[in-house]
Structure 1
């Protein structure tokens, strides 16, 4: 019979999978297809023609961030025996990244559509919409810095824990590098957005998806007695 920790590990994996689906849909599909970099008029047209999809993207993101609050606590409970202080700090950084910064940042996503209510589709309106989406991207990057630190600390904990394969820790440290490189690379060396997005996309996908399915399928490497 599975003990409590095994159940928590699998629950964490399930919630993490839902987060990946929801956040991936919102960022990768909704904003990834409707928001056209450096083309405000096309972006406005896309949002107006797919306003429900745009709204649904916001809801999907919000669900993901709410689930992330639960994941933060569950990961702390799973890893506190490895190092309670690091586990607590890692949890705090994840809570700040998604449930706090990223959730508030959704106001920019919402306002990009709200400002179109009752207004004609002019170049001025298109510029306003693009400004909100640019602000959203900036907020997304700021949240990514905090999430990158979380992934780094999580990777250290996983590497040191006797209940998880060390490879998970290594992969999460690589994911952390991807997030941090994207955030600080965009702020310090603008113009390389596509390259930086590819780096974080590959490193985060490998690290987080591997961790997700390990938790979902295996739980922990061995039973933990309560």
Structure 2
């Protein structure tokens, strides 16, 4: 397998993590106040360029996801062609769901952008409610997509454990990250009222969820992966 493909995948995963930290960790976290529509609306109106930068960040993340799906498929195909293809399709499916979620952010941007053709007929209170609904829609749809992402990581973790030259702790981290994403976002969607329990699940899995894919990106970037399945797995 070409080292260029592996490094392209590694760069995509690492750059994606940085972009997500900016778009969600910094911009979204500083502009959106859960449970306070008035403050959130005011912040979005006062920082439209920053909010649009968040949206562009998400679009960039989706592009990186497509590249990562392609690279991981090619890198892991020698281990198991069928599973590697499944992993790629799961990541692309997650990316499509993320695209639907980001459309809610675009709607929120239009509602707070001061365009008369959008705002006509709305009272200020209605606008605030619509914006919060759009932002909650983004969170809910993205959360559903992250369940697919968790299944993708389970597949990648299985492939990593079967490959001879991928560190076994990395494969374990990817499996734990996959379980973490699935458990956390199933709970968020099905029992959102149990906030304490959801926070506990998040703290249990936060390390593998953070380190799993980022560690895979670093490994792809600095190693020339030519994964070979163990003889026992191949037989």
Q: TM-score, normalised by structure 1?
A: 0.90
Structure 1 residue 175 corresponds to structure 2 residue 184: no
d(CA) in 1 for partners of 2:123, 2:42: 8
Q: By how many angstroms is 1:203 displaced?
A: 2.7
Q: By how many angstroms is 1:144 displaced?
A: 0.2
| Residue of structure 2 in register with 1:159 after alignment | 161
Alpha carbons 2:76, 2:84 under 8 Å: kept: yes
Structure 1 residue 113 corresponds to structure 2 residue 113: no
Report which of the two structures shows the higher radius of gyration computed on alpha carbons: 2
Structure 1 residue 187 corresponds to structure 2 residue 212: no
Structure 1 residue 135 corresponds to structure 2 residue 140: no
Q: By how many angstroms is 1:40 displaced?
A: 0.9
| Residue of structure 1 in register with 2:20 after alignment | 23
d(CA) in 1 for partners of 2:200, 2:142: 17
Alpha carbons 1:12, 1:75 under 8 Å: kept: yes
Query: How many residue pairs align between the two structures?
Result: 219
| Residue of structure 2 in register with 1:202 after alignment | 207
Q: By how many angstroms is 1:197 displaced?
A: 4.8
Structure 1: runs of 5 or more not aligned? none
d(CA) in 1 for partners of 2:207, 2:50: 26
Of residues 123, 126, 136 in structure 2, which corresponds to 1:124?
126
RMSD: 2.0
| Residue of structure 2 in register with 1:35 after alignment | 32
Structure 2: runs of 5 or more not aligned? 229-235
Q: TM-score, normalised by structure 2?
A: 0.86
Alpha carbons 2:91, 2:152 under 8 Å: kept: yes
CA separation of 1:199 and 1:29: change in aligned 2, threshold 3 A:
farther
